[in-house]
C-alpha cells in the first residue's frame, strides 16, 4: 500500500476538518513533515569455499515520508502521525539477493515494496500515549534502520516525564514489520544457541531513565517476549570533563536474560565502553563478556543492545564469548572541512565453542567515511561509505561495502 505526499496532505486536512477550529489550531500549527530520499548500494562478498551464496549485491532507492501532527488544545490533546515508505529496486539478481534492502523473492526480488503506518496519540500533562505504528529505540527494543527502510512495530507505548529528570516508558508490541518486508508478523527471538522459542504476538516492556546531573544518567529496562524470554537491563552513562576540548565518556551495561515457555534462553551479558574525546579526535575501547548456556537474546530483525554489536558479526555474543574493541574517530572540521568525518574500529572475540568443538575465534574490521554538504544546492545531502571485513575459525570470510546517499526535504 503506497501513500504519496498528496494523499497524506488530504488525509490530514480531512481529519482537521472534523475538529473544532480552536482545537485544530495547534494540531495544524505544530505539525511537521519531511521526505527522506535514501539511495543504497550493498555489496557482500563471501570469500570462503563452499559458501551457499558467494555474493550478495543489490542497489535500491527508498522514500520515507514522515508526518507528525501537533496536539489539539485543552487538558487532553489528541494527534495523529503517519509514516509512508516506498522501496524501489534498481539492481538485483536471483543469485545476489538477501542484502536486507529488498524482500527476498522465490526467483528474484520484487520491483518495489511499500509500508504505511498510522499512529494515534494522546497527551495529558507531560505524558504521551501512542497507539499504532512505533519505531522504539530502547535497550530492550532497538528498531533497525541500517538498510533502505526502517523496521516498525505495531503496539502501544506510554512515555511519561511528569517528574523532572525522570523518564518512564511502558507498553506492549503485538506485531513486527522487518526492514525489508511490507507485512506485519509475529515476533520471534534471535540469538546464538537459542532453541525452543515460538512466534509471539506479545512483547511487554517498561523502563526508567533518570538524569542525576548533566554528566550522569542511569537506565533500567525490562522486556518480556511471551513464551520466549524475560530480560532485565541496566545502564550507567557518565561524562567526565577533563578540561577544554577533553572528556571521558563511560558506558557500563549489564543484561540478565532467562527463559520463558519452552525456550532455553540463559544469558548474562556484561559490557563496558570508554571514549576519550580530545578536540576533533575520539579514542574508544570496549570489553564484552557472555555468561550462560546461550547467547544474548533480542527480537528478530532488531539491533542488539550490546557494546560490541557493530556492522557484520552477530554482536560477538556466542555462549561464553569474550570480546574487545578499539575505535578511532576524527572530525575534519579541524582541517577546514566541516561535515567530513572518519571512523575505524577493530574487534576480536574468543573463548567460545566453534563448529566441531574447535575453540572459536573471530575478528572484524570496519571503516566509515561520511560527508554532509554544508552549503549550496546540495546542502544537507549526506554521502556515506562503509567497508567491513570479518573472519572466523569456522571458515567464514566476508568483505562488505555499503554506499549510502541520503537527503531529507522538509515539507512542513
How would you write the pLDDT of the chain (412 residues) with one tens digit per residue? 334 443 444 344 444 444 555 556 677 888 999 999 999 999 999 876 566 778 999 999 999 999 999 999 999 999 999 999 999 999 999 989 999 999 998 888 999 999 999 999 999 999 999 999 999 999 999 999 999 999 999 999 999 999 999 999 999 999 999 999 999 999 999 999 999 999 999 999 999 999 999 999 999 999 999 999 999 999 999 999 998 999 999 999 999 999 999 999 999 999 999 999 999 999 999 999 999 999 999 999 999 999 999 999 878 999 999 999 999 999 999 999 999 999 999 999 999 887 666 778 999 999 999 999 999 989 999 999 999 999 987 778 899 999 999 999 999 8
Residues 6+ positions from 380 with CB-CB distance below 8 Å:
372, 373, 407, 408
Dig out the grid coordinates for 366 from the structure: 570496519
CATH for 5-410 is 2.40.160.10
Q: What is the pLDDT of residue 24?
A: 61
**Three-state secondary structure call for residue 28:** helix
Q: What is the pLDDT, as a whole number, of residue 48?
A: 66
**Residue 70 in 3-state DSSP?**
coil
- DSSP structure string for 323-355: EEEEEEEEEGGGGT-TTEEEEEEEEEEEEEE-G
The pLDDT of residue 21 is 52
**Inter-axis angle of helices 21-29 and 5-17, to 10 degrees?**
150
Beta bridge partners of 171: 157, 205
pLDDT of residue 11: 46
Whole-angstrom CA distances from 80 to 12, 63, 406 are: 8, 20, 26
Contacts of 247 (CB under 8 A, 6+ apart): 239, 240, 241, 276, 277
Question: In the structure grid, which three cell numbers stand for residue 278, read together?
Answer: 580530545
What is the greatest pairwise CA distance in the chain?
71
User: What pLDDT sits at residue 14?
Assistant: 43
- What pLDDT, on a 0 to 100 scale, did the predictor assign at position 151? 97
Q: Which residue has the cell 574500529?
A: 345
Half-sphere exposure of 73 (CA within 13 A, CB side): 10
For residues 306 and 239, give the distance between their C-alpha atoms in angstroms, rounded to a whole number: 19
The residues, any chain, with a CB within 8 Å of residue 299's CB and separated by 6 or more, are 141, 176, 187, 188, 189, 190, 203, 225
Closest by CA position to 410, among listed 27, 4, 36, 25 = 36
Residue 269: its pLDDT value, please?
98
Domain ranges of the chain: 5-410
How many beta carbons lie within 10 A of that of residue 134, not counting itself? 20
pTM here is 0.91
Distance CA(383)–CA(287), nearest Å, equals 31
| Cell reading at 172 | 506492549
Measured in degrees and rounded to the nearest 5, phi and psi for residue 130 equal -115, 135
CA distance linking residue 17 with residue 7, whole number of Å: 15
Amino acid at each position: 500500500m503506497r501513500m504519496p505526499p498528496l494523499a497524506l496532505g488530504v488525509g490530514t486536512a480531512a481529519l482537521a476538518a472534523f475538529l473544532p477550529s480552536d482545537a485544530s489550531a495547534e494540531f495544524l500549527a505544530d505539525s511537521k513533515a519531511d521526505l527522506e530520499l535514501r539511495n543504497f548500494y550493498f555489496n557482500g562478498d563471501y570469500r570462503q569455499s563452499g559458501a551457499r551464496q558467494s555474493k550478495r549485491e543489490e542497489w535500491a532507492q527508498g522514500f520515507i515520508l514522515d508526518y507528525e501532527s501537533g496536539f489539539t488544545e485543552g487538558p487532553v490533546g489528541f494527534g495523529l502521525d503517519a509514516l509512508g515508505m516506498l522501496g524501489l529496486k534498481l539492481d538485483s539478481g536471483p543469485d545476489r539477493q538477501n542484502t536486507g534492502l529488498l524482500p527476498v523473492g522465490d526467483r528474484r526480488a520484487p520491483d518495489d515494496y511499500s509500508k504505511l503506518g498510522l499512529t494515534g496519540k494522546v497527551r495529558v500533562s507531560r505524558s504521551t500515549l501512542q497507539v499504532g505504528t512505533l519505531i522504539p529505540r530502547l535497550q530492550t527494543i532497538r528498531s533497525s534502520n541500517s538498510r533502505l527502510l526502517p523496521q516498525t512495530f505495531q503496539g502501544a507505548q506510554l512515555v511519561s516525564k511528569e517528574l523532572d529528570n525522570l523518564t518512564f516508558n511502558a507498553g506492549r508490541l503485538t506485531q513486527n514489520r522487518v526492514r525489508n518486508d511490507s507485512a506485519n508478523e509475529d515476533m520471534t527471538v534471535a540469538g546464538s544457541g537459542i532453541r525452543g522459542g515460538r512466534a509471539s504476538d506479545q512483547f511487554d516492556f517498561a523502563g526508567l531513565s533518570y538524569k542525576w546531573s548533566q554528566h550522569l544518567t542511569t537506565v533500567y529496562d525490562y522486556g518480556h517476549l511471551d513464551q520466549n524470554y524475560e530480560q532485565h537491563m541496566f545502564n550507567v552513562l557518565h561524562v567526565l570533563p577533563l578540561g577544554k576540548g577533553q572528556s571521558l565518556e563511560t558506558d557500563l551495561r549489564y543484561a540478565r536474560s532467562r527463559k520463558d515457555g519452552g525456550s532455553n534462553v540463559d544469558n548474562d551479558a556484561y559490557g563496558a565502553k570508554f571514549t576519550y574525546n580530545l578536540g576533533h579526535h575520539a579514542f574508544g575501547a570496549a570489553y564484552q563478556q557472555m555468561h550462560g548456556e546461550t547467547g544474548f537474546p533480542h527480537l528478530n530483525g532488531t539491533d542488539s543492545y550490546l557494546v560490541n554489536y557493530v556492522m557484520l558479526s552477530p554482536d560477538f555474543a556466542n555462549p561464553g564469548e569474550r570480546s574487545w574493541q578499539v575505535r578511532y574517530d576524527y572530525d575534519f572540521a579541524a582541517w577546514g572541512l566541516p561535515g567530513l568525518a572518519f571512523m575505524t574500529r577493530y574487534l576480536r572475540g574468543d573463548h567460545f565453542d566453534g563448529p566441531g568443538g574447535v575453540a572459536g575465534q573471530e575478528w572484524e574490521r570496519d571503516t566509515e567515511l561520511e560527508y554532509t554538504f554544508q552549503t549550496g544546492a546540495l546542502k544537507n545531502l549526506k554521502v556515506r561509505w562503509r567497508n567491513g571485513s570479518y573472519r572466523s575459525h569456522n571458515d567464514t570470510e566476508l568483505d562488505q561495502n555499503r554506499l549510502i546517499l541520503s537527503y531529507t526535504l522538509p515539507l512542513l
